[in-house]
Structure 1
Amino acid sequence: MSGGEIVVRPFEPQDVDAVWRLMRDLAVFEGYVDAFAVTPGDLLAHGFGPAPAFGVFVALKGETIAGIAVHYRIPWTFDLRPVVVLKELYVAEGFRGAGVGRALFAHLRAYAAGIGASTLRWTVLPDNEPARRFYAAEGAAPDAAWEHWTLPLPGRI
């Protein structure tokens, strides 16, 4: 889909169902939909209030939420500055190639700079070449100094 202005803003409670659907679409794309446990209620419970656990920027084309950038903040690290972690950047299939991802990424980058963050971090699936090219075009590069490690733990929040 092309044409029309892209508006990026923080998500609002009325956006929760659309955001959830895009998060689930990403889970399908990345192959973990069977483990995807997030509900719209979880987004409401943890994404709003006096101390939200995460934020979401939504990109609108007209009245439609065309993409999302889910993020959270690490309050400070070695340099006493926050780090912004991009957890999910996803653009709905019908809106890809229309600048939605770039608009979301630019908004997130401006947000990170605005809070004085030292770094914007995220992970990319090794075989997701379109994402790797996208991020490289934005000036990013894989972090050769660190490995991404995981330790699964039992239970659920």
Structure 2
Amino acid sequence: MDAAVIDPVRLDDGAVLRAARAGDEPGILAAIHALAAYEKEPDAVETTPAMLTRSLFGEEPKVFAHVVEREGTIVGIAIWFLTYSTWTGEHGIWLEDLFVDESQRGRGYGRALLASLARVCVARGYPRLEWTVLDWNAPSIAFYRALGAQPMNEWTTQRVTGADLTALAE
């Protein structure tokens, strides 16, 4: 079964929440750039439309996206992939990015995107939906708490990149 397949959902205002499909790459990339600007790293995005095509729609995709489309424009994205817990013995979903265009916030799109991932988890028996949030992002933290998300305060994300990654590989 394709991990990204969800039934399209028409939201109250006529917008549609659906799995991303080929052709959505420009809209998804625009949302990624807007997210990077919001997160105060506007020049950090290296992703191209071709990279999104390969990652989301290639022969064996390992990353997936749900989008909210309103009046022909992608206004919200949830980009995610599967994780695995050795403690539960089950997969889960890691939400890499959640973004709703600033002009479209307050319409329930963020909640709808997260709910779509929760439905995937429940339908497939995945016990976890996880993500990170920047410490200074108080509006998002409040939003997540209102949905029942709990912080993992004793866990700190670790990352190895660039020359350190190359050195570790050697």
Same fold (TM over 0.5): yes
Q: When the two structures are superposed, what TM-score results if normalisation uses the length of structure 1?
A: 0.90
5 Å-filtered alignment, 1:104-143, equals 104-143=113-152
Bigger-Rg structure (1/2)? 2
Q: Are positions 1:19 and 2:8 aligned together?
A: no
The offset of 1:5, in angstroms, is 2.4
Q: How far apart, CA to CA, are the structure 1 residues paired with 2:62 and 2:126?
A: 17
Q: When the two structures are superposed, what TM-score results if normalisation uses the length of structure 2?
A: 0.83
* Unmatched 5+ stretches in structure 1: none
Aligned partner letter, 2:13 = G
The offset of 1:65, in angstroms, is 1.3
Q: How far apart, CA to CA, are the structure 2 residues paired with 1:104 and 1:122?
A: 13
Match of residue 53 from structure 1: 62
Match of residue 4 from structure 2: none
Aligned partner letter, 1:89 = L
Q: How far apart, CA to CA, are the structure 1 residues paired with 2:16 and 2:107?
A: 13
Aligned partner letter, 1:54 = V
Q: How far apart, CA to CA, are the structure 1 residues paired with 2:160 and 2:117?
A: 28
Q: How far apart, CA to CA, are the structure 2 residues paired with 1:33 and 1:115?
A: 36
Which of 129, 143, 162 is the aligned partner of 1:153? 162
Other structure's SS at 1:13 match: coil
Taking only aligned residues, the RMSD between alpha carbons, in angstroms, comes to: 1.8
The list of structure 1 runs, each at least 4 consecutive aligned residues, that deviate by more than 4 angstroms after superposition, is none
Q: How far apart, CA to CA, are the structure 2 residues paired with 1:126 and 1:151?
A: 20
Alpha-carbon contact 1:4-1:62 (below 8 Å) kept: no
Which of 88, 91, 94 is the aligned partner of 2:100? 91
Other structure's SS at 2:103 match: helix
Aligned partner letter, 1:33 = P
Aligned partner letter, 2:162 = L
The offset of 1:76, in angstroms, is 4.5
The offset of 1:75, in angstroms, is 4.1
The offset of 1:125, in angstroms, is 0.5
Q: How far apart, CA to CA, are the structure 2 residues paired with 1:65 and 1:9?
A: 10
Q: Could you tell me the percent identity over the aligned residues?
A: 32
Match of residue 3 from structure 2: none
Deviations 1:72-123 (A, max 9, x none): 1114532210020000000011101111111111111111222221111100
Match of residue 42 from structure 1: 51
Q: Are positions 1:30 and 2:39 aligned together?
A: yes
Number of aligned positions between the proteins: 154
Alpha-carbon contact 1:77-1:83 (below 8 Å) kept: no
Q: How far apart, CA to CA, are the structure 1 residues paired with 2:51 and 2:155?
A: 31
The offset of 1:144, in angstroms, is 2.7
